[in-house]
Amino acid sequence: MKMSRQMPLNALRVFEAAARLQSFTRAGDELGMTQTAVSYQIKLLEDHVGEPLFLRRPRQVILTEAGEQLVPKVTQGFSILEEAMASLRSDVGQLLHIDSTATFAQQWLTRYLGGFQLKHPNIAVRLTTSPFIIDFAGTRADVAIRWGKGEWPGLNAHRVLRMDFAPMLSPKLAASIGGIHEPADLLKLSIISATDPWWKQWFSAAGIENPGLDRFPPNELGTQSFDAGMAIAGQGVAIVNPQHFQEEIESGRLYQPFALTCNDGRDYWLVYPEARRNIPKIRAFREWLLSEFVPAVASGEALATKNETN
């Protein structure tokens, strides 16, 4: 009991904010403290551990090796405390922050997220998109949708959607050259994002080892949604995940000329910090999202879970 009274919890909270924001000033703004007060709390903690935790430089603070070792444990510790408190509360008034890739957000989440809110009307949702793999220690996101192999230390990862890919184009563009009868016919048209490695993999699987993609403009649009948008407009052939664009296929705006699809080992995953797996709002979203993808499992797609301990 004596040890718990001596534990500098307030200083640890200040340290966590300063390390996450990489600034004493911004940590003070977040916590409602002056920069002087933040510096004082950090000094108390440094005295407690017996060595510096930050290198002070003009307009910047950088974690020392000791600080780097301490920050993940402190972050995990506060997450455990938050989980303990959350388990005593209902989900009334809670905010779930989801960070997603732009394509998954546009082509799936925004179309079906209403189902989650109908089931959990007291959980507000904030949706942000990012092309980068976010660091949960440096963001307030609760969960993220990531593209990769599901191997992220310290995170629970659930595969939600296979990232298969295949060429797609508008039916009118296909008709403009008399139809697409064999893979080589695609090369008579403009190839969208020709530098995307998916193209070489797909053409190789289709029996074309040297498709000559370097003759096309080396455009990089950044998201499948943009590539598909160009394809719908008749600007060329895109290589995208057909599952993302089922509505466009069914409505006749996009055409998948070949059943052949490929996969480079990277899929879509729901991820969140392992220590936060039992937070009610995270549990609710996880159960809803995985239940939405159960039909995909029945049709042959693998639904996997890594680092999960319920």
| Spatial contact of 78 and 7, defined as CB atoms under 8 Å apart | no
Fold for the domain defined by 166-250: D-Maltodextrin-Binding Protein; domain 2 (3.40.190)
Short-list 252, 254, 238, CA closest to 165: 238
pTM of the predicted model as reported, rounded to 2 decimal places: 0.60
The dotted CATH code for 94-163+265-306 is: 3.40.190.10
As annotated, the residues of the chain forming the CATH 1.10.10.10 domain(s) are 2-86
DSSP 97-141: EEEE-HHHIIIIIHHHHHHHHHH-TTEEEEEEE-SS---GGGS--
Q: What is the pLDDT of residue 296?
A: 43
In one-letter notation, the amino acid at residue 262 is C
Mean model confidence pLDDT for the chain? 84
Q: What is the pLDDT of residues 72-94, one digit of tens each?
A: 888 888 877 776 666 555 444 58
Residue 196 CA to residue 188 CA, distance in Å, equals: 18
Q: What is the pLDDT of residue 88?
A: 55
Q: Which residues of the chain have pLDDT under 70?
A: 1-6, 83-93, 294-310
Whether domain 2-86 has CATH 3.40.1010.10: no
Residue 242 CA to residue 287 CA, distance in Å, equals: 25
As annotated, the residues of the chain forming the CATH 3.40.190.10 domain(s) are 94-163+265-306, 166-250
